[in-house]
Amino acid sequence: MKLMSIAGARPNFMKIASIAKAIENYNNNLPATAALQSKIDHVLVHTGQHYDKKMSQSFFDDLGIPQPDINLEVGSGSHAHQTAEIMRAFEPVLLRESPDILLVVGDVNSTIACCLVGSKIQYTAESKRERPVIVHVEAGLRSYDRSMPEEVNRILTDSLSDVLFITEESAKDNLLKEGIVSEKIHFSGNVMIDTLKNHLKHAEKSGIKQDLGVSSLYGLVTLHRPSNVDSPEILKDLVDTLLTISKKKSLVFPVHPRTRNNLERFSLYSKLEESSDIILSGPLPYLDFLNLTMGADLVITDSGGIQEETTYLNIPCVTLRENTERPVTVDVGSNYLIGTDKERILQTTDIILSGQGKKGTIPKFWDGKSGERIIATLVSLNNNF
């Protein structure tokens, strides 16, 4: 079985790490007599959607992911430009390699671009398949907000995929409502949590707190969604809110490049720099960021993946969005879905800092074995593809 997996942006790397590890374990545990016939040939493609070293290469280094077999080196651009460039660069790669399975993860432009190519490709007559079986890991998540580019990517990818692996029960309901047959859906759990569990001890050794001068009591902040950082009015309110919170709890804020550009453009970055209660940094490697997350008293974010990580770690998470595609983090976990209203944010953080925050639990199958379930399922299905 030849399996090609796609990594393009930061969250992809953390998910692919689990898949790559599961493939390695599967191959290593094959009986010697069956190894040649049954081994999984894994081809890893990096689209280059994230090209900053701290947001790309360091994830391969930190997470022990094999160096990509192919790097498309697409780089940045508008959604249309980036998606088109990935499709253009990926098509000849897919034809040349002709994998049995094309595995995509998450909801970034690389996910839908490679999925579209795979769904329309026509292998040569010598190939044993007409096209690859398309597998989507982390399928069925819905925010029901189509102004989010990720939501469009999720819906289209799921509609084109042959096998869909879900992280929570709500995802199955979403897929069934969209007419996807239940036979295609498999509850694997969360590969992001596999990677987190596998790297907790490594993250504990990070010296990032000493490097940044972080005390033992702090909150962690991330902001990157266009709806929050592209509007000068919303971003100004969020900066003012963070400055208010920082008077009660010092904050560490690794600033995404897009966010920093807008903070500087709207003359807001200097306000954060002048605060003695907010520590700013650039983007951080995975292990350093995980170290900060593990030690935080609360996390303030608009990220999807961080909602999951904090739920597993049982750290209160204040999500600055009106919706979430990961409702289990709110229903079962430690996540608060707040929006961007300053008073709501301050009320919620006050509750958390007073020790009255809710006590979350870990969702079903968030146990570090999701990658193994995915590979076991694909191996069992392979003869029927």
Could you write out the three-class secondary structure of the chain?
CEEEEEECCHHHHHHHHHHHHHHHHHHHCCCCCCHHHHCCEEEEEECCCCCCHHHCHHHHHHHCCCCCCEECCCCCCCHHHHHHHHHHHHHHHHHHHCCCEEEEECCCHHHHHHHHHHHHCCCCCCCCCCCCEEEEECCCCCCCCCCCHHHHHHHHHHHHCCEEEECCHHHHHHHHHCCCCHHHEEECCCHHHHHHHHHHHHHHCCCHHHHHCCCCCCEEECCCCHHHHCCHHHHHHHHHHHHHHHCCCCEEEECCHHHHHHHHHCCCHHHHHCCCCEEEECCCCHHHHHHHHHHCCEEEECCCHHHHHHHHHCCCEEECCCCCCCCHHHHCCCEEECCCCHHHHHHHHHHHHCCCCCCCCCCCCCCCCHHHHHHHHHHHHHCCC
Contact 319, 336 (CB under 8 A): yes
Write phi, then psi, for 273 (nearest 5 degrees).
-60, -35
Mark whether 224 is an active-site residue: yes
Question: Which one of the listed residues 81, 202, 224, 256 is annotated catalytic?
Answer: 224
Residues forming the active site: 224
